[in-house]
Chain A
Amino acid sequence: MRDAEFLWVGCGAGFSGDRVDAIAPVVDTLAKCPGRRVLILETLAERTLALAQLARREDPDKGYEPLLQSMLAPVLACCLQHRIRIVGNFGAANPVAAARVIDRMAHGMGLRPPRIAVLRGDDMMVHPQVRQWQSAGPATPCGALVSANAYLGAEQIAQALDDGADIVVTGRVADPSLTVGPAMAHYGWSPDDWPRLGAATMAGHLLECGAQVTGGYFADPGFKHVPALHNVGFPIARIDADGHCVIGKANGTGGVVDGRTVKEQLLYELHDPGAYLTPDVTADITQARVAEVGENRVALKGVQGHPRPETLKVSAFYEGGWLAEGEISYAGPRAEARARLAADVLRLRADSGQPLRFDLIGVCSILADDGGRMLGAIAAGGARDVRLRVAGKFQTLEAAEHLLHEVNALYTCGPAGGGGVRTAIRRRLETRSFYVDRAGIEASYFIFQ
Chain B
Amino acid sequence: MTDQSVTRIRLYQIAHGRTGDKGNRSNISVIAYRPEFYRAIVDQVTVERVEDLFRHRAPHQVSRYLLPQLHAINYVLDGILDGGVNDALNLDSHGKSLSGFLLDMEIVLPAALAASLEVAEPPAVDTRWPAPPRSQQPA
Contact = CB atoms under 8 A, between A and B. Distances in A.
Interface of A: 46-47, 217-218, 220, 222-224, 260, 263-274, 285-290, 302, 317, 320, 323, 357, 359, 364-371, 373-374, 377-379, 381, 389, 391-393, 428-431, 433
Given A264-B16, A273-B65, A369 B86 contact: no
Main secondary structure of the interface of B (DSSP, over half): loop
A260 B31 contact: yes
A47 B86 CA distance: 8
Contacts of A288: 67, 69-70
A368 B119 contact: no
Contacts of A266: 70
Given A273-B65, A286-B67, A263 B72 contact: yes
A46 B85 contact: yes
Nearest to B82: A370
Given A260-B31, A365-B91, A377-B56, A271 B22 contact: yes
Interface string B101-139: 100000000000000000101000000111100000000
Contacts of B130: 367
Contacts of A263: 29, 31, 70, 72
In this complex, which of B23, B69, B76 has the most chain A Cβ atoms within 10 angstroms of its Cβ?
B69
A393 B88 CA distance: 9
Interface residues of B, number: 43
B57 interface: yes
A313 to B, nearest CB: 10
Contact of A370 (B31, B70, B88, B131): B88
A366 B57 CA distance: 11
A238 B43 CA distance: 37
B64 to A, nearest CB: 11
A142 to B, nearest CB: 14
B31 A302 contact: no
A288 B72 CA distance: 11
Contacts of B29: 263-264, 267-268
Contacts of A264: 16-18, 29, 31
A384 to B, nearest CB: 14
Contact of B67 (A271, A285, A373, A433): A285
A46 B69 contact: no
B20 A269 contact: yes
